Amino acid sequence: MISIEEAQQIILSRTGLLGTEEVPLLHALHRVIAEDVIAPWDIPPADHSAMDGYAFAFDDVREGALEVCGFLPAGVAPTEPVSPGCAMKIMTGAPIPPGCDTVVPVEDVLEEGTTIRLRGMVKRGDHIRCRGEEVGAGDLVVASGSLLRPPEIGILASLGKTTATVFRRVRVAVLATGDELLQPGSIPEPGKIINSNSTSIAAQLLEAGAEPLMLGIARDDLETTRRKIGEGLQADILITTGGVSVGDRDFVREALLDLEGELLFWKVAMKPGKPVAFAIVREKAVFALPGNPVAAMVAFEQFVRPSLLKMMGHTRLFRPVVRGTLTEPVRNKGGRPHLVRVAVRLADGRYQATPTGNQSSARLSSLTSGNGLVKLPPDAALAAGSEVELQLLDRHFEMGLP
């Protein structure tokens, strides 16, 4: 059995970049740009006033008084130079009129009829945002490979862009397996349970920026499993859940081999999530995740998410890991590393982690009441107060979990 890290390495070594597409700028949010964006003009495009105030030539100030000779709102280009000894009333964002080099804010002058008197010290160049101060024409503003957050989207808009070329979203086929499964919306009959995995995996895909394609349920026979997997290969990658263990009715591995897939691993030393396989079938990656709902989601986090992110051009592939303190003792009696679900909180600026109770891999509430994982080595026993590394699955700790 290989380790989590070895499995991640194998997966990432077989993960390449997807193609690109041009999308409306707001659709590019949280995606990775696939073009260098060069500024076509200076930002600001001219010298602008940074304040509501008066613009004048610094050398003209005599005894601190100036004659007001006009008014310039934002959005209007100045035409006439300001005469010597005069000041132009100017609004924030208006271009500095020719002949002026300094702005004094309105609150720093005494207005006396058509004259203003400066109250205090003024320096040449005060309160002017200079042309090209932020970006010069021809500068590289957003480099290919950058993640587009709201500020990047904003700066692209300021350069006049309405679209961006970004890495495409991964299209991921999601297939559940099991004779016991009913689709959500059904009332469970005896012996049946609802297929929750497809929906939780789809939610994880959406959160990672991928596009789920729901393939429904493959019943537990080889022929159906093989056919449904074949259908899934039309997507960029395929995720299956269940049927990958060693039970009499577990056909996923066999179906992958039947389809001449290259099976790279089919067991990983971890709890939850040991039965997890990774195969390349007809050049498509197939992740066969465990059936147990928690195991499927935890395995998605460790193996699928980093791969999806890499395909979509991201360079930060793993969840953040921080150091924090356990509030309760934890033990791993088993021989495999245990990913213990914990609720992580910030208390006085320090991370604290509390295990989420019964850690059964079938119990989704061990994830709903938490937001992080602690990896406990085999046979480890940690006392309350121990310092541990915490993998943060989401940021809800900032909002304070119960």
Which tokens sit at 213?
């394609």
Instruction: Pick out residues in 217-236 that bind ligand AMP (CB under 6 A).
Output: none
By CB under 6 A, name the one of 245, 302, 354, 366 that touches ligand AMP. 245
290 binds Mg ion (CB under 5 A): no
**Of these partners, Mg ion, ligand AMP, none, which one is at the site of residue 195 (CB under 5 to 8 Å by kind)?**
ligand AMP
How crowded is residue 11: how many other Cβ atoms within 10 Å of its Cβ?
20
Residue with tokens 């989207």: 153
Q: Is 243 in the site for Mg ion (CB under 5 A)?
A: yes
Q: Which of residues 33-52 bind ligand AMP (CB under 6 A)?
A: none
Helix, strand or coil for residue 96? coil
Spatial separation of the C-alpha atoms in residues 356 and 371, rounded to whole Å: 9
**Residue 189, class by beta-carbon neighbours within 10 Å (0-12 exposed, 13-18 middle, 19+ buried)?**
exposed
Task: Quote the CA–CA distance of 126 and 47 in Å, as a whole number.
Answer: 12
Closest distance to Mg ion from the beta carbon of 266 (Å): 15
CB 4 within 8 A of CB 337: yes
Kindly give, in sequence order, each residue whose CB lies less than 8 Å from that of residue 269, ignoring residues fewer than 6 positions away: 1, 2, 3, 4, 336, 337
Instruction: Give the start-end residues of each E strand in 160-202.
Output: 163-167, 171-177, 181-182, 193-194
**Joined tokens for residue 49:** 């006033």
Q: Write out the H or E segment, with its range, that includes residue 281.
A: strand 277-281
Size, binding site for ligand AMP by CB under 6 A: 18
Q: Which is nearer to Mg ion, 243 or 370 (CB)?
A: 243
Binding mask 203-242 for Mg ion (x = CB under 5 A): ---------------------------------------x
The site string for ligand AMP over 290-309 (x = CB under 6 A, - otherwise) reads: xxxx----------------
Contact yes or no for 54/68 (Cβ under 8 A): yes
**Which residue in the set 95, 97, 178, 306 belongs to the binding site for Mg ion (CB under 5 A)?**
178
* Residue 355 contacts ligand AMP per CB under 6 A: no
Question: According to the binding rule CB under 6 A, does residue 242 interact with ligand AMP?
Answer: yes
Determine the size of the site formed for Mg ion (CB under 5 A). Answer: 4
Q: Which is nearer to ligand AMP, 164 or 367 (CB)?
A: 367
* One of 181, 218, 256, 286 touching ligand AMP (CB under 6 A): 181
Give the residues lining the site for ligand AMP (CB under 6 A): 176, 178, 180-181, 193, 195-198, 241-243, 245, 247, 290-293
